[in-house]
Amino acid sequence: MRVEIWSDIACPWCYVGKARFEKALAAFEHRDGVEVVHRSFELDPGRAKDDVQPVLAMLTAKYGMSEAQARAGEDNLGAQAAAEGLDYRTRGRDHGSTFDMHRLLHLAKEEGRQEALLDAFYRGNFADERSVFDDDERLVELSVDAGLDAAAVRKVLADPTAYADEVRADEREAAQLGATGVPFFVLDRAYGVSGAQPVEVFAQALAQAWGGRTPLKPVDAGDGAAEACGPDGCAVPQN
């Protein structure tokens, strides 16, 4: 069974939702039969690379809330994250474009390091003091921590077209599936879960998706005798 997760590194609920999903998956009896794929979704796709601002300023400008409301919201998110065992800095973080990070996540997918890099980016954005938005070398450092080659990472960062099509394809697919926000979880292209749901909801979704899988129905001439190759070799015509 495949679970696809659309998320953004700038999304605190994606950070929390990933932890909750992983708790449900760890307790799932068929967890070894579940493939998890992370897909790109930018909350701010038109944001320029050099447009970086404090999170509190972004929240007050984008959502029209007061600074006190923004601070209270960050405090609440910090408590939600702590409940899942996650570190979360409620003050002093900044916000910017995540496009380069998504491009690097596609590089990491090819290297089998996508999960490790996503965790590194989440930690860098939500827990560490250094920004992930104002210095490409910070992204290089986090990528190397996740097992990627520094030269390969710098090559991607130097070429804005590298993996750009893959990021945009993920985002188009999210729109086609009806995702308007993240995190968005799709189980075997049959079940969808929106938001950072409780662990129990993810557990229910995994069980339902696993139990709802439809066995393949063979289509043949009726006798199943067409030639084929298998573990023991290939059928050899005897005529």
User: pLDDT, tens digit, for every residue of 76-105?
Assistant: 999 999 999 999 999 999 999 999 999 999
Q: Cα(104)–Cα(111) distance, rounded to whole angstroms?
A: 11
Q: What does pTM read for this prediction?
A: 0.89
Share of the chain above pLDDT 90, in %: 87
Predicted pLDDT of residue 142: 98
Predicted pLDDT of residue 218: 61
pLDDT tens figures, 130-148? 999 999 999 999 999 999 9
Q: What is the chain's mean pLDDT, rounded?
A: 92
Burial 152-186 (b: 16+ CB within 10 A, else e): bbeebbeeeebbbebbeebbebbeeeebeebbbbb
Residue 183: is the preceding peptide bond cis (ω within 30°)?
A: yes
Q: 230: helix, coil or strand?
A: strand
pLDDT tens figures, 183-237? 999 999 999 999 999 999 999 999 999 997 665 556 655 555 566 565 555 655 5
Predicted pLDDT of residue 237: 58
Predicted pLDDT of residue 97: 98
Predicted pLDDT of residue 5: 98
Q: Cα(174)–Cα(187) distance, rounded to whole angstroms?
A: 13
Angle in degrees, CA 193, 85, 185, rounded to 5 = 15
pLDDT tens figures, 9-55? 999 999 999 999 999 999 999 999 999 999 999 999 989 999 999 99
Q: Cα(19)–Cα(42) distance, rounded to whole angstroms?
A: 20
Exposed / middle / buried, residue 105 (Cβ in 10 Å: 0-12, 13-18, 19+) = buried
